[in-house]
Amino acid sequence: MLDYNRQYGGIAMNLTREFLTEEALRFNEGTLNQQNILCTLTGKRTGRSPNDRYIISHPLINKTIDWGKVNQAYDKDRFNALWQLTKTHLEKRSYHSILFACQDPQFQTRLSVTTEFAWHHIFAMNLFIEKEDSDPNMPTWEILNAPTLNIDPTIYMTQSEAAVMIDLTARRILIIGMRYAGEMKKAVFSAMNYWLPTLDVLPMHCAANQGDDRRVALFFGLSGTGKTTLSSDPDRHFIGDDEHGWSSQGIFNIEGGCYAKCIGLKAKKEPVIWSAIQSGSVMENVFLDNQKNANFDNTSITENSRMAYPLNFIEKRVASATGQTPSHVIFLTCDLYGVLPPVSLLTEPQSAFYFLMGYTAKLGSTEISAQANIAPTFSACFGAPFFPRPAAEYASLLRKRLKESGAKVFLVNTGWHRGPYGEGSRYDIDFTRRIIHAICNDTINHNDLSLLPGFELQFPNHIPNINSALLDPRNSWSNPDYYNQNAEILINQFIEHSLKISMPPEIRQSCPRSIIQFT
């Protein structure tokens, strides 16, 4: 029996996806496509709004936060006033559930989720963990999501009429004026990224899968680098696509679902994601034609079209959404300059350096301010907007886990070769899959390597089923001098950005050096 008055409003509990879909259609929150999937639009915000994200200032945490443009401080009293305003707003109509984060029981966190929109609640049920609420005394985060509540920025001292606010001391998350559902997922991730290191757990913006031998591979990378696509491998067992924790015992998915990009989605290239197109998923900003068929190639709404679905929509998965200590760690980088090898083997100091740099390209970005631009970017930990603590703390935990596990670390370029963006070609996903399989199957000969000058990256000379000429990026350029020019541009960007990051001398030594001395 639903605790909800459909005529007069109120708070609905004990929810099902079927009921929530009916509610979403009743209140014109979305429409059903030909596959009976709820499709929604998020208005002017089709991605995250990083300028509208705040962390509540408090003496207990102020010295532990990396304050700045990413982690903006917000006054506690003003936040409390907004919290009460939102609670009153949600009394008109809202939906409530108890969900969970972190698949490992010893780190599991309770989430009390209240949303104004029915489709946002389906999203929450798909992305977080559904299970019996057997321990109400478990530490609980309270989440309020009110997309139609717009505030006056001159009164509440915000950047706009909308905001995402995280109260780390009182375990509260407030989302107002935002229809883009990804804000809810990433706010919870940010909270876990603050909390988990206190338990000696490295939180990671990465995907994970395992082979038949149960050996685990991690895939770090920003949006557009291939993280979800490459981890959703029909030849391997899926663990998760975006957020994980790494303890001394192994890894675990922080979430209970996937939030896959839909741009260019095709059954042949991404069969695992394609198979998740079924009733119960939610599509966000996907273009529908006049017959209500999804057109994944149409980007007129946004390049950041998405689909949210639970893990159980994936047939070949690890049921526990956990895994043993990783054997392979893969950093995915989309190199716009086309100068990095398709695969490089990293030393332990290099692993920490490239983790702190997080170099890639903003390509189909999840941030609204960057979706029209393709440009190089550096994002510490391969996800700087979601990590409240100084990046060096996460890098220290990564080094600890690597030393404990002996995991091998690789830098994989999913970007360009034969020239820079606009002139060269992007590596085909099938080519990169073969690289990934060689990594996971240990068919790369670590004793047959070459060194790329300037970057000092070691890359293999031969990989089974791969054209050896493509392994050295210099070979595919018709003009060696033009390659060197582009390499020098990227090297200088590494040098400039590294000066902004605190790191030990032994890690800083891995910074690329001017290529001029080698030419």
- Specify the CATH number of the domain 10-199: 3.40.449.10
> Is 205 considered catalytic here?
yes
Decide if 481 is catalytic. no
Instruction: Say whether 297 is catalytic.
Output: no
Residue 496 to residue 23: CA distance in whole angstroms: 52
- Strand, coil or helix: what is 43? coil
Q: What is the pLDDT of residue 423?
A: 95
The residue ranges of DSSP E strands in 453-499, in sequence order, are: 457-460
What H or E segment, with its residue span, contains residue 474? none
| Annotated catalytic residue, options 121, 306, 328, 426 | 306
Query: Looking at 227, 261, 362, 426, which residue is catalytic?
Result: 227
- Residue 126 CB-half CA count within 13 A: 31
In 3-state terms, what secondary structure has residue 87?
A: helix
pLDDT at 5: 47
Q: Which CATH superfamily is domain 259-313 in?
A: Phosphoenolpyruvate Carboxykinase, domain 2 (2.170.8.10)
pLDDT tens digits, residue range 164-194?
A: 999 999 999 999 999 999 999 999 999 999 9
Percent over 70 (pLDDT), the chain: 95
Angle between helices 118-127 and 17-26 (to 10 degrees): 150
Q: What is the mean pLDDT of the chain?
A: 94
| Separation between Cα atoms, residue 49 and residue 178, nearest integer Å | 9
Catalytic residue among 172, 205, 236, 389: 205
Q: Is 69 a catalytic residue?
A: no
- The three-state DSSP-derived secondary structure of 163-205 is EEEEECCCCEEEEECCCCCHHHHHHHHHHHHHHHHHHCCEEEE
pLDDT digits (tens, 9 = 90+) for 330-367: 999 999 999 999 999 999 999 999 999 999 987 655 55
Does 502 participate in catalysis according to the annotation? no
Note the pLDDT of residue 138.
87
| Active-site residue flag, 227 | yes
Would residue 306 show up in a list of annotated catalytic residues for this protein?
A: yes
Report the predicted TM-score, pTM, of the whole model to 2 decimal places: 0.94
- Look at residue 508 and give its three-state secondary structure: helix
How does pLDDT run across 25-75, given as a tens digit for each residue?
999 999 999 999 999 999 999 999 999 999 999 999 999 999 999 999 999
Catalytic residue among 17, 48, 53, 93: 48
Q: Where are the domains of the chain?
A: 10-199, 202-256+321-518, 259-313
Q: Is 242 a catalytic residue?
A: yes
Euclidean distance between CA atoms 374 and 80, whole angstroms: 39
Could you write out the DSSP letters of every residue in 220-265?
Answer: E--TTSSHHHHHS-TTSEEEESSEEEE-SS-EEES-SEEEEE-TT-
CATH architecture of the domain with residue range 202-256+321-518: Alpha-Beta Complex (3.90)
